[in-house]
Amino acid sequence: MFKKNHYYLMFFAIFFIQGLVAQDVTITGTVTDDLGSPLPGVNVVEKGTTNGTSTDFDGNYAIDVANLNGSLVFSSLGFSSKEVAINGQTIINVGLVEDAEQLGEVVVTALGIRKETKALGYSLTEVGGEELSTVKQTNAINSLQGKVAGVNITQNATGAAGSSRVVIRGASSLSGDNMPLYIVDGIPIGNENNGSAGLWGGSDGGDGISSINPDDIASVSVLKGGAASALYGSRAAGGVIIVTTKSGQGQEGFGVELSSSVTFDEVDTSLQDFQREYGQGTRGRKPVNQSEALDLGLSSWGARLDGTPVVQWDGVERPYSYVGSNLKHFYRTGTTFINTVALTSGSEKLSYRFSASDLANKDVMPNAGLDRKTFSLNSSAILGEKITSQVNVKYINEDVQNRPRLSDAPGNGNFTVANLSPNVDVRFMNPGTNPDGTERQYSNNTFSQNPYFAAYSFRNEDTKNRLIASTTLRYDITDWLYLSGRAGIDHSTIKRTSVEPFGTAYKPLGGINEEERRYTQIDADVILGFEKDITEKFATSAFVGANSNHIKQEQLNLGGNSFIVPGLEDIANTETQSRSRGYSERKIGSLYGSVELSYDRWAYVTFTGRNDWFSTLSFPGKTTPNDDFYPSVNASVIISDALDLAEPVSFLKLRGGYSEVAGGAQDAYALALTYEIFGQGFLGQPTGRVNGGTVPNSNLVPFSKTEAEIGLDARFFNNRLSLDFAYYNNETTKDIVDVSTSIFSGYGGAKANIGRVENKGVEFLLSGSPIKTDNFTWTTSINGAYNQGKVLATNDSNADVNLDEPRTRNVRITHIVGEAYGTIVGVSYDRDENGTIKYTINGDGVPIAVEGERKILGEGVPPWTFGFNNSFRYKNFNLNFLIDGKFGGQIFSGTNTIVYGNGLHKETLEGRENGLSVSGIDADTGQPFTTTVAPEFLQTYYGEINDIAEEFVEDSDYIKFRQVSLGYTLPKKTLENIFLTNVNISVIASNLFYLKRSVDNIDPESAYNVGNSQGLEYFGVPSTRSFGLNVNVKF
Amino acid sequence: MKNSIYILLFVFFLSACDKGFEELNVNPTKPVQVSLATKLTAAQKFMSSERYDNWRANLIYQSTMMQHLAVTAGYWAGDKYTWNKGYASSLIDRYYPNVIKSLEDMKVQMEEENSPEEMRAIVRIMRVFVFARLTDLYGDVPYSEAGQAFISGILTPKYDAQSEIYPDLLKELEESAAALGTGTSAFGNADLIYQGNQTKWKKLANSLMLRLGLRLIKRDPAAAEAWATKAIAGGVMESNEDIFYLQHDVNNRNGNSEAFDADGNQRLSKTFVDFLQGDPRLPILASRRSDGSTAPADLKGLPNGLDSELLLAATGEEDTSLYAEPSDIITFFEAPMFFQTYAEVEFMLAEAAVRWNLAGGDPEPHYNAGVRAAMKMLELYGPDAVIADAEIDAYLAANPFDAANALEQINTQYWAATFLNEYEAFANWRRTGFPNLVPVNYPGNVTNGTIPRRLTYSESEQSNNPENYQAAIAAQGPDLLTTRVWWDVE
C-alpha cells in the first residue's frame, strides 16, 4: 500500500513538472495536527485540477498554482479534509483535525492483512480496543454486544467465568456450534466449551475466548460474511472474529502503561416482581407444624401474611410477614479488580510490548469467583534487510472457584432463593450444614438444596493453564515477491474438581469427580505473495498458501462415590471409583489462493479459492470425497472517486460478493460404529456395548455454505454523516445433522448429510457527528440488523431435530423443516374452534386445563437487534453510552413456570380471597361452563396451568440501557512538568435498566447454555448491574 | 528459476494435504467389536436397569398404585393417579436405548459369528422378558422393528399390536426352551444370573411361558390353558435355586435401592402392612422411619392417596416419620433385583390347578410351597433376612389354603411376593383383579379415581415418530393411564 502511494506522488510530481511551464506562483506551508505536530504525507491538491503534492516528513509542502483565487484541498487518512481558499496568500499553514470515522479505515482482514476499507468487497466491522477496555467485561467478547450489526451475543446466566454464545448473521448449521472462528494475533485459538448445564442441571465450564485480557486488545475485527472468511477455511463458516493485541509498534523509546479498574456487581432485584401477600402454606392456610413446613418447602399457597408467629422449616416460629428480597439477602456485591501493567519499547529494528495482568473477581454468588493472570509478550523485529519477524506469546492462568450450578434444582442455590415464600428468610438457612456436616434441609424434597450448602459445601473449581504462542517470518524475495510463514499453538490444561459433599440430602454419602482436559491446536501457514502495479492504473496483489490445522483433545476422569471418612474429599476415600479417558484428534489440510486487482484506486475485485481436506470425513475404505474446493469473488467500486459527485456526497462505495465455504464433520470418529468396554465391570465380568447414541454415517461429505452479499458505504456532508448497509443471503447445503430418531429405534439420533438452512438479512450502521467544534463533539451511531433463518431440510424424511428441553420437559427447542431455526415447541392449551380453552372438571369442581398438542410457540433467537451508541467530548471529558435491544424472539421462562405452580407469581393472587371465576369449555361435555374455583383449590388450578408451556413462552423483546462511561483525560499541559504522558480516569456503569422489557420477572437474555438451544430460561444466576472506575496512566 | 522451487514446494504441500487422515479418524480408544460375553453381562445390567426408571416407573408409579408403598409427597404420581409423562415413559426411555439395543446388536453378532443355538436361546429368553415387561406396561409397542436404527436403518419403528407380540414371545420361549441342552453355555460366568447353566435357562423359559400364558386368561382362556399346559410339561422352576434375579454389586447398584437412598419419602402402604400382620416378612421388609425399629407393633403403614393435610384430616397424624419405610435390610446398594421367582411359579401352578386341574390338580401344596419360597427367598438379601422354617409353618397354620377363595388368596400372596418387582405386581393385578385394592381419589387425579391400567408412551414420540404413534393410538385407544392393554379385557 505504501508503495502505491509513492506512485501517486510520482504522478503528482510529473504534473508538477509539466505545470512549471505555465505556473509561476509557489505556495508553501506546514500541515500540522490538532496538537501542533507536523503531519507528513498529507495530500495537497489545487481544487478542480489534477495539480497536487504531498507534505514531507516535517509536514512542509510547496505547490505551484496558476490561480491565486482558487483553493487548496488538504487530505490525509484519518483526518478530515480541509479546503482553504488561497486568496492571494503564498504561505498557508493548515491544521487538520482527526476524524474518528476515518481512523478506522485501515482494518485488519483475513490472514492479518491490513487493508483500506474502501478496497473491501464485503462487510467488516472493526471495534477499537478502547471500546473493550473502558467498560471491561471479564469476557472481553461480551463488550461487542450492541456494537456490531449482525452479531448476536448471549451470555450465560452464570457469573464472571461463564461462556458466551456469539452468532454472526444467524446460525447456519443445524447441529454444528455456529460460533465464529477466533483468530488472535494471526492464529486460530480454541473456543471449546468446557462444560455446560442442561436438562438435569450442571454448570457452565467457561470457553476459550474469555481468556483474553481486555487491556491487551488493540482491535477486534468482525468478518461477517463468507467472502470475508473464505481464506480461513471451513472453520470460518460462522464468520471470523480477529483479535489483534497491542504491540510496541509506533512506540518511540520506552513506555509504561498502567491500567486499573474496579467493578462492583449487584443483583438487579428490580427484575423479579413476585407476590408478597401470601406466605408459605397450602390451601390458603399456614403450616401447622415443622413437619408440614418441611413438606411444603417452596409452596406459597398459604394464608394472607398477617404478622402472627408461624412455625418454619427449622421449627422456629417467625412472624408471618414479608421478609424483603431474598435475592438481596443471599447474593453479595460482586467485585472485579483488573490491574494491568504494560511495558512497551520501540526502535527502528525491534519493538515489543510486555504486559502482565491480574483479574480478581468475587462473584455475586457467595463463595464463587475467578482469578486470572495473563502475561503477554508481543515483539516484532527486522532481522535483516529482507527478513522481518513477529513473536507473540501469552500465558494465562485461570482459577475458578465454584462455578454455580444452573438449571435443575439439585445443587443449584439459585433455584431455592428464587422460590422461597415471601415470609421465609433465606438467611436463616445459613449455615447450610448441621453440626455433623450434613445438609440443613429446609424442605423434605431432597433435591431442593439449601442454598448455603450449595454455595459453601458443594465444590466446583478448576484451574486452567494456557499458552498461546505464534510466530511469523516474512522474507522479501524481491520487492514484489515475498514468502511468509506462520505457526501458532494454543495449548491448555484444565484441572477440575467437583464434589457433592458427604451429607448432601439427595446423595447422603456424596461423591467426587476429578477431571483433566488437555487441548492443543497447532496451526501453520506458508504463503507466497506477489504485489505489483502492472500499469499506472492497474495494480495487483496475489498470494497462494497452504495451511495445516491440527487439534488434539484428551480428557481424563476419575469419579468416586460414597465417601468413607466423612469430610475428607479425596478420590481415594470413596467406596466406588470409576475412570474414563476421552481422546480425539482431527486435522484439516488446505491450499488456498487469492488475487486482487485494482483499477485506479476506485475499482477493486478479489478472487479467492480454497480446497480443504478433512480428517473427520476420512476413513479407511471410504470412497466419498473428504475434501471440497470453494471459491469466492467480491468487488467494490468507489463511485465517488470514479465520478465527481457533488456535495453533500463525500464518499460512495458499492460492494458485492459471492462466496462458498465448505466444512467437515465437527467431531472426529463420526463415520463408523464402535463399541466400548464401559464401567468397572460387574461382579468381575467386563461389560461391553455399542458406543454412543447416534447412528453414524460412513459416507459423510463436506457441507457447503454459500453467501451472496451486496452493500453500500455512503458518507455525506464532509463525512459528518455516513451509512453502511448490507444485504446478505446465505444457504447451507449438505449440512451434517444429528436428526432425532424415535426412542424405540435404540438410538437418539442419526447423522444425515442433506440438511439445508438459509439465512437472509440486512444490516445497517448509520453514524454521524451532529456537533463538531474544537471543544465539543458529539458522535452518534445506530446499528441494526435483521436476520431470518429458516430450516429447509434435515434428512430424507425431513424429521425434526430435537435440541434441548428444560427441566419442566413440556417444551423443547426443535428444528422443523419450513420453520425458523430453533423454534420453541411446547404443550399448548387445548382449545375449541373459537379458541376457548378446554378444561376437565375434577372431583372438587376444579377446572383442569387440558393439555393440547405440542406446537410452535415461538423462536428462541430474536431476529431484530440494534445498538445505539453515543459519544460526547467536551474538552477533556468523554461521555459514552450504549443502548441496545433485541426484538421478535420469544423465551420460555422456567422461572415463571415454577413460581406459578408454587404460588409466587403475581398472577396467582387472583382469587385468593374470594375464589377465581373460570370460564371455558368442559372437555367432557363440549359445553361452555363458568365456575368459581374456591381459594383452597387455586393451587390445583394454577398448578395444572403450569404444565402448559404456551402460558410461559413470552416475547423476549427488550431495550436496555447497556452501559455508560464518563472519562476525563488530564490536559497535556498539566502533565508537561511531570513524567506522565497520559492520564485517563473514567467511571462506568453497565446494565443499568431496561427501557422496555416484555417478559416479567426474568432477564430476557437469560440462558443456561451456549448451544443451539436458545430461548430457554431456568434458574440461572440473577442478572447484575455494574458500577466501576478505571484509571489508565502512561509514562 | 527460484520461483519454480516455490512451485515445487506447493506441489509437495498438495500431496501432503490429507496424508494419514484415514488412520487419524479411526477412534483409538474404542474397539470395532467386543465379545458377546461382555455384551451379555451389560444386557443383564441394563435389564435390571438403573435408578432412573426403577424410581419413576417401578416405584413412583406402580409400587404406589399397587399399594405396596405410599407417599404424601405430590410428585409420587402413582400414589395419587396424577400424570407425569416423563415418569410414566421412563421404562421405554431406558430399556430401548440400553437393553433392547444391546440384544438386537447381539443377535446380529451371533449371526455373524455363527454362535451356538444355546447362546442364542439365552439371548432370546432375555429379549422375551424385556419385551413382555414393556408390552405389559404400555400395550402396543415397537417390537419387530425396535432397536434397529443402525442394523437396518429403521429410525421410526412401527408399533406392533400386543395381540401380535404375545404369540411371538410365546413362540420364542418355546423354541428357546427346545434349543437349550443341559451343560454350561459358552457364556459361562459372563452370565451373571445362571452362570451359563442351560437347565436353569430352560426352566426360566418355561416359567416365563407360564407367566405369559396366564396373562391371556381374560382375552383367550383356551390359549392360556394351552400355554400353561405346555410350560408345565416343559419343566418350570423347582426351587429358590432357580430364581431369575440379578445380584448387584457396589459399582452396579440396585436401582430401587439407589432411589430409596436419594428420596426418603417412601413409606409402606397401609394396605401392605395390614396384609403383613403376623407375617414374618414384615420386620424384614419394613422399619420405622424415625428410629429404625422393626418391632411389628411399631410398624405402621401409610394410607395411599394423601398429602400431609389430608393425612392429618384422615388420621390426626401428620408426622410421616412415624410410619414404616422399606428397611435397610432390603434396600442396600448391592441388593438383588428379582425378575421372576420360584414363589411366583408355585402360585401360578396353584392357579393352574384351580382352573384347569393342571400341575397335579391340587392347588394346596403349590400354595404352601409358594408361601414358603416367598419367605425363604428373602435370604438372598443376606443373613438379617432369614426366616426360620418354624415361623413359616406357623404362618401357614394361621393362613391355610382356602379353596373357596383360592384365586384371591393365591394372587394376593403373589402380590406380596412381588414387592419391589412392581412391574409384575401391576400386571398380575390387572390380570386377576387381586389383591382387592381400594382406589384412592386424590383431588386433581386424572383417572377419575380408578387405578391406572397402563403407563403412557414417551412424549418425544409425538414429534419423532408421529405417524406410528398416531397409528398406535388409533389401534389401542388414547395414550392415557386409563386405557387398557389388549389382554386386559374389561
Give the confidence band of B9 by pLDDT, cuts at 50, 70, 90.
low
Give the minimum alpha-carbon distance from B478 to chain A in angstroms, rounded to a whole number: 13
The residue assigned the cell 373459537 is A834
* B190 neighbourhood in chain A, CB within 8 Å: 685
* B145 neighbourhood in chain A, CB within 8 Å: 744
pLDDT of residue A17: 40
pLDDT of residue A885: 95
Average of pLDDT values for B122-140? 98
pLDDT of residue A13: 41
The residue assigned the cell 435475592 is A327
Sign of CA dihedral A556, A561, A567, A571: negative
Q: Which of B95, B46, B73, B133 is nearest to B325 (CA)?
A: B73
| Distance of alpha carbon A372 from alpha carbon A367, whole angstroms | 16
pLDDT of residue B40: 98
| Distance of alpha carbon B167 from alpha carbon B306, whole angstroms | 41
Residue B239 has pLDDT above 90, yes or no: yes
Q: In a 3-state reduction of DSSP, which class is residue B383?
A: helix
CB-nearest to B149 from A678, A750, A814 is A750
pLDDT of residue B455: 98
Whether B204 and B125 have beta carbons less than 8 Å apart is answered as yes
Burial of A568 by CB count in 10 Å (0-12 exposed, 13-18 middle, 19+ buried)?
exposed
Domain architecture of chain A: domains with CATH? 2-98 (2.60.40.1120), 134-268+333-411+458-822+860-889+956-1034 (2.40.170.20)
Task: List the grid coordinates of A591.
Answer: 491450499
Domain architecture of chain B: domains with CATH? 37-241+445-462 (1.25.40.390), 262-326 (no CATH)
Paired sense of beta strands A838-841 and A916-922, if any: parallel
Interface test with B, best of A691, A742, A796 (most B CBs within 10 A): A742
DSSP letters for A369-432? EEEEEEEEEEEEEE-SSSEEEEEEEEEEEEEEE-PPB-SSSTT-HHHHHHH--TT--GGGG-S-
Whether A544 and B10 have beta carbons less than 8 Å apart is answered as yes
pLDDT of residue A108: 65
A-B interface: how many C-beta pairs under 8 angstroms? Answer: 284
Question: Which H helix or E strand runs over A451?
Answer: helix A451-456
The residue assigned the cell 433467537 is A861
Task: List the grid coordinates of A834.
Answer: 373459537
Q: Which of B5, B3, B10, B11 is nearest to A481 (CA)?
A: B3
Task: List the grid coordinates of B52.
Answer: 432412573
Q: What is the largest CA-CA distance in chain A?
A: 110
For residue A797, count other CB atoms closer than 10 A to its CB: 11
* A846 neighbourhood in chain B, CB within 8 Å: 443-444
Q: For residue A150, give the amino acid letter.
A: G
- Interface list for A 966-995 with B (CB within 8 A): none
* B251 neighbourhood in chain A, CB within 8 Å: 576, 578, 679-682
pLDDT of residue A446: 87
Q: What does the H/E/C string look like for B226-284?
A: HHHHHHHHHCCCCCHHHCEEECCECCECCHHHHHHHHCCCCEEEHHHHHHCCCCCCHHH
pLDDT of residue A57: 67
Give strand pairing partners of A474.
Answer: A388, A484
Residue B119 has pLDDT above 50, yes or no: yes
CB contact under 8 A, B142 and A742: yes
Question: Which H helix or E strand runs over B171?
Answer: helix B162-179
Average of pLDDT values for B192-207? 98
Whether B95 and A744 have beta carbons less than 8 Å apart is answered as no
pLDDT-flagged residues of chain A (< 50): 1-23, 100-104
Task: List the grid coordinates of A801.
Answer: 431435530
Whether A190 and A401 have beta carbons less than 8 Å apart is answered as no
For residue A818, count other CB atoms closer than 10 A to its CB: 9
> Is B456 at the interface with chain A, CB within 8 A?
no
Q: What is the C-alpha end-to-end distance of chain A, expressed in Å?
A: 32
| Distance of alpha carbon B447 from alpha carbon A462, whole angstroms | 50
pTM for the full predicted model: 0.87
Reported as half-sphere exposure (CB side, CA atoms, 13 A), residue B227 has a value of 28
Going edge to edge, which strands form the sheet with A953-955?
Answer: A953-955, A890-893, A1016-1017
What are phi and psi for residue B472, nearest 5 degrees?
A: -65, -40
pLDDT of residue B444: 74
pLDDT of residue A254: 86
Q: For residue A914, give the amino acid letter.
A: N
Burial of B11 by CB count in 10 Å (0-12 exposed, 13-18 middle, 19+ buried)?
exposed
What is the distance of C-alpha A445 from the center of its chain? 37
pLDDT of residue A73: 85
pLDDT of residue B160: 98
Give strand pairing partners of A546.
Answer: A526, A591
CB contact under 8 A, B252 and A854: no
> Is B10 at the interface with chain A, CB within 8 A?
yes
Closest residue in A to B468 (Cα–Cα):
A742
pLDDT of residue A295: 86
> Is A819 at the interface with chain B, CB within 8 A?
no
| Distance of alpha carbon A840 from alpha carbon A819, whole angstroms | 32
> Is A677 at the interface with chain B, CB within 8 A?
yes
CB contact under 8 A, A745 and B156: yes
Q: Which of A624, A709, A713 is nearest to A661 (CA)?
A: A709
Q: Which of A569, A567, A549, A566 is nearest to A558 (CA)?
A: A569
Whether A289 and A437 have beta carbons less than 8 Å apart is answered as no
CB contact under 8 A, B149 and A578: no
